[in-house]
Amino acid sequence: MGTRMGKSKARARKYKLREQAKVDTGIFDEKTMVNLGKFFNKKIIEKLNFVIARGKEADIYIAEAGSSEKVRGNQFVIMKFFRVETSSFFKMEDYMIGDPRFSRIKATSKYEVVKLWCAKEFGNLEIAGKARVNAPRPFMFNGSILAMSLIGDDATPAPRLRDIELEFPEETLDVILEEIRKLYRGNLVHSDISEYNILMSDNVPYLIDFGQAVVTAHPKAMDFLSRDISNILSYFEKQYGINREFAEVYKTVMK
């Protein structure tokens, strides 16, 4: 009798997760379903709502926040589902090899690499938070799924830098460069700064997509830092005619 009841509850729980996961046009595979279930069990989320972005590396969903202390004050949670089959193994490898945090870890499959990448982004967001950088707050990760705070209003994500016309571009550029500097002082380099990876919420820039971020001990960290600065300076010069000397900006960021 007890065993039958246990199986019945297990089936009901699995059915509930399956129904909640039938969002938009996709249905998650069994492994993803199991990983997703822990976010419900830990009360990080109460319901998975809808997809807001699909990419080669990950799909982004909006979820209703659960009752966990970790998400207190948040009505919605961003759920990032990393893709395993279409993720670029070599791109990920470039940002992990040389990172002392992963020197003793050996991935045996592509799924294991993606799991490490997910854990890496969670850890990078924690570092960004300690450095007081404007970035999403990480709540939990499990397998290839990451939960973090929503940057935006209600269930609407803030627009990307590239999608809006700034009223005060000089001031915004200064804030972005200061965020890069704070991150560097926290011993982290974003490594993929661009107008696509910055959200604008109430005229405040927020850095996102921290999976590729590396600690400053990484052998390519300074190359990545130079690229970040160059990318953002190029965008503001092209879009707003703002001309900043790279060498002077680089020197300021390194202070």
- 247 CB-contact burial (10 Å; exposed 0-12 / middle 13-18 / buried 19+): exposed
Which amino acid makes up residue 153? D
Beta bridge partner(s), residue 59 = 54, 81
Map tokens 């060498």 to a residue.
247
99, 209, 223, 228: the active-site residue: 209
Q: What is the rounded CA–CA span in Å between residue 247 and residue 250?
A: 5
> What residues have CB less than 8 Å from 43, skipping those under 6 apart?
66, 67, 68, 71
Question: Would you state the structure tokens that stand for residue 128, as one six-digit string?
Answer: 């960004």
Residues 227, 203, 236, 160: what is their CA dihedral angle, to the nearest 10 degrees? 60
209 is catalytic: yes
Q: What is the rounded CA–CA span in Å between residue 147 and residue 177?
A: 27
- What phi-psi label fits residue 241: left (phi over 0), alpha (psi between -120 and 50 degrees) or beta? left
59, 154, 163, 192: the active-site residue: 192
The secondary structure of the chain in percent helix, strand, coil, rounded to multiples of 5, reads 45, 20, 35
Q: What is the rounded CA–CA span in Å between residue 128 and residue 189?
A: 10
192 is catalytic: yes
**Biggest CA-to-CA distance, the chain:** 75
Task: Supply the residues annotated as catalytic.
Answer: 192, 209
